[in-house]
């Protein structure tokens, strides 16, 4: 993402938080970013697209951190899962996305609703997949129902504590709440397996998966993007980041790339570009590679 587009997105985010999404116009963004109308539409076709880009960035941040948390760890460890669940909550707070969600909660704009619904369905789809990895394929048919219950327990507990005590719920308290929700679902699953009663059945799950619409990634696509990324770097960019990028490219081009080494380099690669204009693309590339390596050696859900 080039510097000017990054500025437009940052300005849009600030205005959505300050004025509210519905009250912010495209002209507000154009005037604040000091760009022409043509430049804005060269980057985004609508205000909704700005929102989509902002939410996509938060998801990419969360996805990278979640992969990093599980790297070298037991994927069935409930404590690791609890930390992974809490990641997006922390990111939403840090980036003030909760305020944006609040500002569009009562929107009648169907386009806006679809953007937010898709964001929530992506999170639901992620957790349902992780629950199958933790508890096994036998819970596949009820994994989405379990995911809904986990998120419901977390969200309503956090909201109740915040309203009742009129206070900010600290990060350590959030982790405690997430672990409590997972302990509760751990107790519920045996009963669900026994009764086989689910409200979110196969047809609904199919609809959710179609709505989520994950971007398909493959090695050649990533290699081409990484090549372009490296070509855009200069001597002023972090030397360690340049070295990581070149090593990742070289390794990915091998017939049998060393996946564990590639995964070990993704965090330092991403972090080395954090304070540069390449941060967004480095984050995206790291996320794609994590997904690719997981497909190459998937977690056994049995």
Helices (H) and strands (E) in the chain, counts: 14, 0
Q: Tens of pLDDT along the chain (302 residues)?
A: 567 788 898 899 999 888 888 889 999 999 999 999 999 999 999 998 998 888 888 889 999 999 999 998 999 999 999 999 999 888 888 887 877 887 777 677 787 888 888 888 999 999 999 999 999 999 999 999 999 999 999 989 988 988 887 667 777 888 999 999 999 999 999 999 999 888 888 888 888 888 776 677 889 999 999 999 999 999 999 999 999 999 999 999 999 999 999 999 999 999 999 988 898 899 999 999 999 988 765 444 33
Domain layout of the chain by residue ranges:
3-45, 48-212, 219-296
- Structural tokens at position 281: 């693309």
* Superfamily per CATH, domain 3-45: Homeodomain-like (1.10.10.60)
Contact between 64 and 286 under an 8 Å Cβ cutoff? The reply is yes
Tell me what pLDDT residue 149 has: 95
* Three-class secondary structure of residue 203 per DSSP: helix
Tell me what pLDDT residue 275 has: 86
Residues 6+ apart with CB under 8 A from 79: 179
Tell me what pLDDT residue 151 has: 94
Residues 6+ apart with CB under 8 A from 229: 245, 278, 281, 282, 285
Give residue-wise pLDDT tens across range 82-126: 999 999 888 888 887 877 887 777 677 787 888 888 888 999 999
Neighbours of 266 (CB within 10 A): 22
Tell me what pLDDT residue 166 has: 64
Tell me what pLDDT residue 269 has: 97
């Amino acid at each position: 993402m080039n510097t000017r587009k990054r500025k437009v997105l940052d300005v849009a985010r600030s205005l959505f938080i300050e004025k509210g999404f519905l009250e912010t116009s495209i002209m507000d963004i154009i005037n604040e970013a000091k760009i022409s109308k043509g430049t804005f539409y060269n980057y985004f076709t609508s205000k909704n697209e700005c929102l989509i880009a902002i939410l996509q960035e938060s998801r990419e941040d969360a996805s990278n951190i979640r992969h990093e948390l599980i790297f070298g760890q037991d994927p069935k460890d409930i404590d690791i899962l609890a930390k992974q669940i809490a990641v997006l909550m922390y990111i939403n707070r840090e980036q003030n996305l909760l305020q944006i969600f609040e500002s569009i909660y009562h929107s009648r704009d169907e386009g806006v609703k679809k953007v937010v619904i898709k964001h929530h369905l992506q999170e639901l789809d992620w957790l349902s997949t992780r629950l199958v990895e933790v508890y096994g394929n036998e819970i596949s048919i009820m994994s989405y129902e379990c995911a809904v219950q986990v998120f419901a327990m977390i969200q309503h507990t956090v909201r109740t504590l915040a309203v009742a005590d009129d206070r900010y719920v600290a990060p350590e308290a959030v982790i405690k709440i997430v672990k409590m929700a997972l302990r509760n679902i751990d107790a519920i699953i045996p009963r669900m397996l026994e009764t086989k009663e689910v409200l979110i059945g196969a047809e609904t799950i199919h609809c959710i998966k179609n709505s989520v619409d994950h971007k398909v990634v493959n090695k050649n696509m990533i290699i081409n993007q990484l090549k372009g990324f490296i070509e855009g770097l200069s001597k002023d960019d972090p030397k360690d980041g340049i070295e990581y990028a070149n090593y990742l490219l070289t390794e990915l081009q091998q017939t049998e790339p060393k996946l564990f080494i590639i995964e070990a380099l993704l965090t330092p690669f991403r972090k080395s570009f954090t304070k540069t204009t390449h941060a967004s693309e480095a984050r995206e590339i790291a996320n794609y590679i994590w997904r690719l390596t997981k497909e190459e050696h998937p977690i056994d859900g049995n």
